[in-house]
Amino acid sequence: MAKVKGAIKVDDEKCKGCSLCVVACPQKVISLAKEVNGKGYNYAYMANPDECTGCTNCAMVCPDSVITVYRLKSQVEA
Amino acid sequence: MAEINEIIKPENLVYAKSKVLTDNVMSYCPGCTHGVVHKLIAEVIEEMDIQEKTIGVCPVGCSVLAYNFLDIDWQQAAHGRAPAVATAVARLKPEKIVFAYQGDGDLASIGTAEIIHACNRGENMVVIFINNGIYGMTGGQMAPTTLEGMPTSTSPYGRDIKMTGHPLRITELIAQLPGTNFVTRQAAHTPASVRKCKKAIRKAFDNVAAKKGTSFIEVVSTCSSGWKLSPVKSNEWMVEHMFPFYKLGDLKDE
Ligand SMILES: Cc1ncc(C[n+]2csc(CCOP(=O)(O)OP(=O)(O)O)c2C)c(N)n1
Ligand code: SF4
Ligand code: SF4
Ligand code: SF4
Ligand SMILES: [Mg+2]
């Protein structure tokens, strides 16, 4: 079965740590980092990257438009 | 299993920030609905390829700086007067796509006369109405749209309708006016509602391109700073308290 694999890139210096992407992700991929960015916000990152399907939900709800989404229609899994 | 670096390649790109958005960091608080709606307007302008012919009119309120965030032509209006300024722009430049962007303090309080008459005249414009039930910019004071019992900085024990009147569903009033052709109430708190809201914005811009008169979109919104809740809790509060009073859906689509 072809499994859709995705990944996100967060502009972590512009992320405001609002968590709206965290709750919007159906795969529970995203968490807020313990570290903060230059503005003092705990920025979003892929805590469970293997689960990302590239569905774009997180990017859609991000008020600051700091998420970029990639999707790979990957090889048939053995 | 694919490594992340094999996925993050230009040929696999499926979503990126709209080119109509500037690189400026938005001045809004974390989680603010203004940011989501800016993004949707930018995406619609990009998809319609109308960046060069769109003119926005900014309100007074937190979105007073919207001209820093969307790379289009803008005009700034005095508090509540965006529909009056947009009227002038739309009449003087009928070849342009004109929209007014307003908060609830701006549109449903100080600017009530301007919005009612612009919609009644059917000026050829889109109106985007961000209803967060509060004066966000000035410190969370009560607005005409504040719900009964909702605490604000000027109604700390909750809005008392005996003293301050009822929350105003101005979108229902506007739907009565013959100059409007599309009147809808949307939200932008989940991926599904964001997609729906974008479709509504697209329809409104298409209507103005087709010179159909006024298209009016209310977005029921949050103001986590004014509401004194986290962004996630604000969305939950909005679903529980705002949606029963401000019901989502189309009020008019002609
Ligand atoms: C003529 C005038 N009166 C009052 C103000 C003060 N003022 C600035 S923003 C604002 C209310 C904004 O509330 P809203 O339109 O709901 O926007 P939000 O910040 O909530 O998005 C007020 C009363 C002003 N700038 N000009
Ligand atoms: S929605 Fe955007 S700003 Fe908010 S935490 Fe996620 S990436 Fe950061
Ligand atoms: S693209 Fe979809 S699966 Fe991947 S992190 Fe975003 S919401 Fe989660
Ligand atoms: S005060 Fe409210 S409306 Fe203004 S930017 Fe902050 S959250 Fe948004
Ligand atoms: Mg407001």
Task: Give me the interface pTM, i.e. the ipTM.
Answer: 0.96
Question: Does the beta carbon of B80 sit less than 6 angstroms from any atom of ligand 4?
Answer: no
Domain with A46, as residue range(s), is 6-77
From chain A, the residues in CB contact with B230 under 8 A are 19
Atom 7, ligand 4: which residue's CA is nearest? B223
From chain B, the residues in CB contact with A46 under 8 A are 4
Report the separation in Å between the CA atom of A70 and the middle of ligand 3, taken as the mean of its atom positions: 10
Q: What is the pLDDT of residue A75?
A: 55
Question: Does the beta carbon of A62 sit less than 6 angstroms from any atom of ligand 3?
Answer: no
Mean pLDDT, residues B145-153: 98
What ligand has the least distance to the C-alpha of A24?
Answer: 3
The domain B30-253 is placed in CATH, from the list 3.30.70.2200, 3.10.105.10, 3.40.50.970, 3.40.50.1370, at 3.40.50.970
Q: Is residue A1 part of a domain?
A: no
Q: What is the pLDDT of residues B91-133, one digit of tens each?
A: 999 999 999 999 999 999 999 999 999 999 999 999 999 999 9
Atom 8, ligand 2: which residue's CA is nearest? A15
From chain A, the residues in CB contact with B13 under 8 A are 68-70
Report the separation in Å between the CA atom of B104 and the middle of ligand 3, taken as the mean of its atom positions: 33
Which residue from A5, A30, A43, A68 has its CB within 8 A of the most atoms of ligand 3, so it is best to mutate? A30
Q: What is the DSSP string of chain B?
A: ---HHHHSSGGGEEE---TTB-SSPP-SPTT-HHHHHHHHHHHHHHHHT-GGGEEEEE-SSGGGGGGGTB-SEEEE--TT-HHHHHHHHHHH-TTSEEEEEEEHHIIIIITHHHHHHHHHHT-S-EEEEEE-SEETTTTSEE-TTPPBT--BTTBTT-B-HHHH-PPP-HHHHHHTSTTEEEEEEEE-SSHHHHHHHHHHHHHHHHHHHTT--EEEEEEE---HHHHTS-HHHHHHHIIIIIHHHS--EEEEE-
Q: Is residue A72 part of a domain?
A: yes
- The domain total for chain A is 1
Its pTM surpasses 0.90: yes
What ligand has the least distance to the C-alpha of A61?
Answer: 2
**Which CATH number does the domain housing residue A47 bear?**
3.30.70.20
Residue B2 scores a pLDDT above 70: no
- Comparing B218 with A1, the larger pLDDT belongs to B218
Q: What is the pLDDT of residues B11-23, one digit of tens each?
A: 999 999 999 999 9
Q: Is residue A30 part of a domain?
A: yes
Mean pLDDT, residues A60-67: 98
